[in-house]
Amino acid sequence: MKITKAKETMNARTRVRKTFAHEKTDRVTIGYESNPAINKRLMEALGAKNDEELRQALGVDYRGIGAPYKGPKLFEDVPNRRRNELDGWISRWVEHSAGGYWDFCDFPLKDATDEMFEKYPVPNPDHFDYDAALDSAKALGKDMGIYIGAAGLPDVINSNGRIMGTEDVLCNLITENEAALKFMHRRADSTLKVLERTMEKCGDYIDFVWYGEDLGTQIRPMISMELYRNTMKPIHKKFFDFAKSYDKPCIIHTCGSSSWVYNEFIEMGVTGVDTLQPEAVNMSPAYLKTNFGNKLCYRGCISTAGPLTFGKPDEVTAIVKETLEIMMDGYGYHFAPTHQIQDNTPTENAVAMYQAAHTYGVYR
């Protein structure tokens, strides 16, 4: 298999920056995320020796960098489990027919007392290697798009849900539990400080900041607007203000039916939204373009739960072409899957997806 890439007249960094500015580019900006098994099969199919070669074969326009943790161990190991070194969440390997997932379990702050919240470790921003982040940026160079952050930051509901369970997070938010909210802010402030220190060190190389917060089920909002404004918006605003203070665009990952909060994001200066599951309520490409126009950049829209996984290559090509016809209007579109491409996705479908982006994602 081989992907015939579109003719390029600009480098990846220029393409990324112009996309965020809603300016015309040679082709759509391209992103990629996948689970391990399909990633391995794509490497084999496209003759890539490593992840970087795969991204080059697909035409992916940006890479993420971060400062690795170099401080003391914060959490004890748990037998037969994997424990996150920074946040302490615990997961176990659960196999399925196409591979497996690390599934969250044994939540260390479930039913936590005030004292447990106060004593739970949070990483010290001094304990990260910012020089290593700069080395990574220099290695990528100034022709590649580079971002800091991730779809899991600050991700109040999910990131805290991995530690205390989603039910506890929602209950603590709706009751405005003082100890829990203080803990959430303490974690967010630590994360934000690491981003600030990374930006101070690497700012000349950074093109955008990536955030995340899942706020919808497939059919409706996960929480009320009142609850969002009272408890989560103040945390989000600090992160969005940080990006603005460095004059960097920011994009936020939002799974599910999340467009109900997009006007709040726009008001706070968010540049773009990511994921955009078209099967969720009020998340189709046509709905987003009609209701928000060019007030936002858009990243995603190619569903990992549709033809990409369950159809044939020609069906994938058709849905990509249809999506591009809608989203390319006015520029500002980042082509990408709605989430990580799943392990049960046929390899030929994933190849067809990216071939279609190069075939139909060219600006005339």
Give the list of residues 6+ apart from residue 111 with CB closer than 8 angstroms, or none: 168
Q: Tokens in use for 220?
A: 């409706």
Instruction: Tell me what the pLDDT averaged over the chain comes to.
Output: 97
Average pLDDT over residues 26-34: 98
Please calculate the CA angle 296-299-305 and round it to the nearest 5 degrees. 135
What digits encode the pLDDT tens for the residues 203-253?
999 999 999 999 999 999 999 999 999 999 999 999 999 999 999 999 999
pLDDT in tens, 249-308: 999 999 999 999 999 999 999 999 999 999 999 999 999 999 999 999 999 999 999 999
Q: How far apart are CA 162 and CA 344, in angstroms?
A: 25
Among the listed residues 286, 290, 341, the one whose alpha carbon sits nearest the alpha carbon of residue 316: 341
| Residue 312 placed within a domain | yes
Backbone angles phi, psi at 148, to 5 degrees: -120, 165
Name the band, by pLDDT with cuts 50, 70 and 90, for residue 18: very high
Q: Are 96 and 161 in contact (CB under 8 A)?
A: no
Phi, psi of 255 (to 5 degrees): -80, 160
> What is the number of domains present in the chain?
1
Write a three-state SS string for 303-351: CCCCHHHHCCHHHHHHHHHHHHHHHCCCCCEEEEECCCECCCCCHHHHH
pLDDT (0 to 100) of residue 104: 95
173 assigned to some structural domain:
yes
What per-residue string of b and e applies to 315-325 under the rule 16 or more CB within 10 Å gives b?
Answer: ebbebbeebbe
Per the rule left: phi > 0, alpha: psi between -120 and 50, beta: everything else, 241 is: alpha
Report the pLDDT value the prediction gives residue 337, as an integer from 0 to 100: 98
Tell me what percent of the chain is helix, strand and coil, each rounded to the nearest 5: 45, 20, 35
**Residue 162 in domain:** yes
- Phi, then psi, of 149 in degrees rounded to 5: 95, -170
Can you give the pTM of this predicted structure? 0.96
Q: What is the mean pLDDT of residues 54-75?
A: 98
Domain holding 165: CATH number? Answer: 3.20.20.210
Give the residue numbers spanning the domain of 119: 12-360
Q: Does a structural domain hold residue 127? A: yes
| Rounded average pLDDT over 28-43 | 97
* d(C-alpha 28, C-alpha 236), whole Å: 28
Q: Where are the alpha helices (DSSP H) in 32-129?
A: 36-46, 51-58, 114-119
> Beta 99-105 vs 90-96: how paired, if at all?
antiparallel
Helices (H) and strands (E) in the chain, counts: 15, 11
| Residue at 268 is within a domain | yes
For residue 4, being part of any structural domain is answered with no
Q: Does residue 6 belong to any structural domain of this protein?
A: no
**Does the pLDDT value for residue 132 go beyond 90?**
yes
Q: How far apart are CA 56 and CA 42, in angstroms?
A: 12
Q: For 98-119, what is each residue's pLDDT tens digit?
A: 888 899 999 999 999 999 999 9
Looking at the domain assignment, is residue 5 inside a domain?
A: no
